[in-house]
Structure 1
């Protein structure tokens, strides 16, 4: 039975599966696991000591064969159709690769709910965090070309890189950042992206984010990952999207794949993202521009294109008889660099993170690689591979995360090995995602004002300009007798109506990928001012924007 891996995604609420990080000698990432073990000493006679010679490679007979895989492929239509019937998700596309052959590439459902255009194997989906293993493949090309090494400090190639601790700034390597071991906490920078700040602004403000222990903590971080991948692009003197296209997408013929949101938008055959609208109906309500975190979450592609990439992964960097990625450097991405989750029970396994991949080992000690992607605004994706069996599957959906692509991948691999699924994967993954949603509810229910709510003061107490070094300026004003606030980058601010809740606390609707309903704007008087006194508020704290203590705005 294939156990499903716990795979973090983009949404802050989906990124709480954290564990104690692991480091190698002197705290360095576990890169040695991918290096050749060569004898470096000699015996007394001058010949290599037998005890120092590398052990012969074990000849492990694959557990799968063509017939087993073909039988599982024959059941894929039913697996996918069952998922669609149970959830109503508008569209799904799936591809399977085995022994360098694409055995299955097919679309189901529609690109947009309520419209007739159907999904096929060339339909372009937003990948969310499946962008990460794509990005580490691009980085491996840069390393193979000697433009950068995994252990180069990022600041060597990206001089503007800075985190809160000067030691971490000086020493954090590309491998540290691609394995989520910089110390940046989960969600660092994500709320700036929700407010439409661009990549340059977000990366330049990460130095205000608090850090956990460098190289001995694991925190899944989109913008930490983005910083690491950007170092490879800087080393190659190319923008990230151009680099990926030049060294990976073009050599593989991935003509529908891009890290530019504009390319996704102009694709004629693209799936829109959807959120549930009740009673198993879905609506294409949002747009998700992830250019700011393009290496970590901004790619779009089709299953036909991704099947080519899976072939490359399973062939150790070769495609069409040519070396595209140095096999040793690609191998570095496939081994554990960090502990991403400790065993929940004595019989459970430790979970690991490589460079852009979740890494695990099954009952037969076979390597398993995978990653999920999730946009809370309406996309869910997953890729899973058994490299030793030369088998891989990718599933893309245009619906908010409910565990659907993960269940499809797990059910297929389970069926290939056991003849039929041994677990109700759709029930299992749905339960996991439901618990995540429940855990993400706001701590204060701002939809229900206290029975004895204190009145608000006059509008003059609240209106004005407030400053924050992380989020920038915030303006509170009055329109049609009601308060509102504006926040975000100049020329692209977001307006939030404020509704009175209790005393000097108002509620507003949170927005973006991390939105979780109503949040609070809590105004405060200057220190020592008596309640009900005149004057103006000295500050306002936005609890939604304050997960790490950066959400207080001070009157200018």
Structure 2
């Protein structure tokens, strides 16, 4: 169900396709050894670069991007390459919006989704460098009233735990509240209801876990997160087209439109995605020229244009492996690791890579990879739902640099790996209504006001015009679902939003103690309504 945060985990697919290798997890990292320049003799465990491979890869890059866009159907992309602290390539391809003539160029601003996480990690590193916080700073004292389900975990939870996705929160915790229109304050306050997995040994990708850590850092700095990011990162790097506010993205004339996949596999500009609630984890908008500056900062250990903006000791833990993201299923596979906001691994060439993908099912796919040993970074931003185009562009380019040719059809590989994100969700998806269903009770018996400590109030009412039931839930009842009879006290509904691809269908199961609601909206003791789509963590039951 929770595809928005799950899709952020696309970056961990590099475990399979860029062959990450096992490294020892640590909370601090030693200083880096001097890095090899392009063309120098590599360490014994790294593949020697082919002569002229970098220049040849740059020359082939435009053709590669055009081919991947055509094969995938994604409307547009922008790509940049940095090496040795210099911008070596920046170009746009395709169009900003299907059906319109405006072309993507290197200045076009995209929503970069979960690529916001490593950018936010560098903002945190700036505050570690300045002594405002440390990665090991507990967050509860910085977040008045904040709690998780376990008081001991609440007391010991640190910024590092949240940026490494090792808090114990379930995958995607809080995403469903965002889908229902709740703001950041409500979502962070209600994480206390989420059941926890073992602390610091469970990796679960959670946008609002990381957002909790970022909010704690912003509170320590005394400003809101978007302002902190602007002050400490975007302005010093002259990232003039970058913001952590959605309203700033809308204010850009040269911006890319989201394109979702349609039922026939094509793309169309169908949705908006307002990610301010999870801005530290998914709300940055930027262009490849700005992101090239940020990649150069990370590659130079926190220094940009000769000025140290972040101490290497503050940045190093973020780009070191802190927790395993997945254990290898077979002996010859490599494990994957996460730092603080960065995926960390090793390519088959033997070189360490840092990277992350970002995606909105509603229409964005992004990816970057850094190869510190080569002082090399590449980023690809696309305005189509995540079908692997961004990852394919980056992976094929790095193949050509290191091996002189592509090692596989990366678009096909990533497309196959990501295909399940577009599968319908819900327990009734693809199911047929029973041939001889039991009739429901009189619809008024289900009407009333229902309460849930996590999701808040839901109001079930008889739809006089449609002759069925409707349920309104979420912030201010903004989300309205039509309930259609399925079998007895079980109804069916079609969820909508980031986490519900086309064809999704779920059950609404009522258990009534008898009788209809009274004038106050109260029903008999024990009346419950379970919306299966919202019950992944066991929190989807309302009482009347």
Partner residue in 2 for 1:524: 511
Aligned match for 1:155, one of 140, 158, 168? 140
- Paired residues of 1:132 and 1:296 also in contact (CA < 8 A): yes
Q: Secondary structure of 1:325's partner?
A: coil
In the TM superposition, what is the alpha-carbon distance from 1:14 to its structure 2 partner?
6.2
**RMSD over aligned Cα atoms:** 2.5
Q: 1:514 aligns with which of 474, 499, 502?
A: 499
Unmatched runs of 5 consecutive residues or more in structure 1 = 1-7, 37-55, 530-534
Count of aligned positions:
516
Is this contact kept in 2: 1:337–1:355, CA < 8 A?
yes
**Change over 3 Å in CA distance of 1:285–1:363 after alignment to 2:** closer
Q: Is the 8 A contact 1:484 1:495 kept in 2?
A: yes
Task: Work out the CA distance in 1 between the residues paired with 2:452 and 2:242.
Answer: 38
Deviation digits for residues 182-234 of structure 1 (CA, Å, limit 9, x no counterpart): 00010100000001100000000000000000011111111111111111111
Cα distance between partner residues in 2 of 1:528 and 1:181 = 46
- Asked if residue 32 in structure 1 is aligned to residue 28 in structure 2, the reply is yes
- Say if 2:534 is the partner of 1:545: yes
Aligned match of 2:308: 323
2:450 counterpart residue number: 466
Structure 2: distance between partners of 1:273 and 1:125: 9
Q: Distance in 2 between matches of 1:109 and 1:201?
A: 39
After the TM superposition, which of the residue ranges 145-154 and 355-364 deviates more from structure 2?
Answer: 355-364
Comparing 56-65 and 251-260, the one that deviates more:
56-65
1:94-141 deviation line (CA, Å, top 9, x unaligned): 111111111111111111111111111111110110000000000000
Q: TM-score, normalised by structure 1?
A: 0.88
- 1:435-514 counterparts in 2 under 5 A? 435-438=420-423, 441-445=425-429, 448-479=432-463, 480=465, 481-490=467-476, 493-514=478-499
Quickly say closer, same or farther: Cα 1:494–1:458, change in 2 above 3 A.
same
CA shift, 1:462, in A, is 0.8
Greater CA deviation, 179-188 or 510-519? 510-519
Matches within 5 A, 1:96-495: 96-278=81-263, 281-438=266-423, 441-445=425-429, 448-479=432-463, 480=465, 481-490=467-476, 493-495=478-480
Whether contact under 8 Å (2:50, 2:404) holds in the other structure is: no
Change (3 A) 1:144 1:65: farther
Q: Distance in 1 between matches of 2:486 and 2:418?
A: 31
3-state SS in 2 of match to 1:34: coil
Indicate conservation of the 8 Å contact 2:5/2:171, yes or no. no
In the TM superposition, residue 160 of structure 1 has moved relative to its aligned partner by: 3.1
Runs of 5+ unmatched residues, structure 2: 16-21, 43-47, 517-522
Tell me, yes or no, if the aligned pair for 2:444 and 2:462 is still in contact at 8 Å.
no
How far apart are residue 526 of structure 1 and its match? 2.1
**Counterpart secondary structure, 1:33:** coil
Instruction: Output the CA distance in 1 between the equivalents of 2:154 and 2:361.
Output: 31
Report the counterpart of residue 39 of structure 1 in structure 2. Answer: none
User: Higher mean Cα deviation, 8-17 or 61-70?
Assistant: 8-17
Deviation of residue 447 (structure 1)? 5.5
Q: 1:34 touches 1:335 (CA, 8 Å); kept in 2?
A: no
Per-residue deviation at 1:69? 1.3
Q: Any idea what SS the aligned residue of 1:217 has?
A: coil
TM-score normalised to structure 2 length: 0.90
Contact 1:64 1:389 (C-alpha < 8 Å) held by counterparts: no
